[in-house]
Chain A
C-alpha cells in the first residue's frame, strides 16, 4: 500500500507557465483534498472532491483548477503560475465510509517555486 502519492516532488516554474500536480491514492477513499502550506500560515484548502465526479472550492481557489479523474486520482492545475503560488502543495484523502472517518491522510508534498 503506497497510500497517497504525489508527483512531482519538486518543480520550478517561470511566471506564466502552466503545470499539473498529480495525486493518487490506493486506499479506496472517497474524498480527496488539495492544500497549500506557507510558512507560519498552516494548511489552507484549495479545492476538494467529496466523491468521484464532484469538486468544490476551498478557502483559496483562485488561480487553480482541479480534476477528479476517477476515484483514485485528483489533479491540481496552475494555468498561469504566479510568484504568489510558490508554496508546498499537499494532497490528502479521507475514508468517509469508515467509522468516524474524519481523519485525512497526506501525500509527501510537492515543493513549487515560481520565479
Chain B
C-alpha cells in the first residue's frame, strides 16, 4: 500500500516566524510532489510542486525534496494569520498516474 504520511497537528506558529511542514512517502518510484493549501470549508488549492532533489522557492514558500530519505517539506517564511489552513502533501504515482494524498497538517498562525 503506497502511503503519504503527515503529522495531523495542529502546528501552532507565531506570526512572523517560519512554519515547517513535513511529509514522508513510501513509494521510491514517486518523482513528483505537491503541496496544497485548504482553508476550512474550501477546496484544495495548489501552492507548490517539486520534482527534483533540493529546494524550490516561490515567494514566502520553499519546498524541499530529499528522495534518498523519501521526505518532502514546506517552509513558510514570515508566517501570516492568513496562512492558517490545512496543508496537504501529495505524491504522483508513475505506476497509475494518480496522486496519493496525505491526511494533511493543520497550521495555526498566532498573531
Contact = CB atoms under 8 A, between A and B. Distances in A.
A49 to B, nearest CB: 12
Interface residues of B, number: 19
A75 B42 CA distance: 20
Given A48-B98, A100-B51, A103-B34, A43 B88 contact: yes
B103 A102 contact: no
A103 B101 contact: no
A94 to B, nearest CB: 9
Given A100-B32, A102-B32, A40 B46 contact: no
A42 B46 CA distance: 15
B75 to A, nearest CB: 20
Interface string B34-65: 10000000111110010100000000000000
A61 interface: no
A40 B43 CA distance: 15
B44 A43 contact: yes
Contacts of B97: 31, 50, 96
Interface stretch (A13-21, A63-71, A77-85, A104-112): A104-112
Interface of A: 31, 40-45, 48, 50, 58, 90, 96, 100, 102-109
Nearest 5 pairs of A and B residues by beta carbon: A42-B103, A106-B43, A102-B92, A43-B101, A42-B101
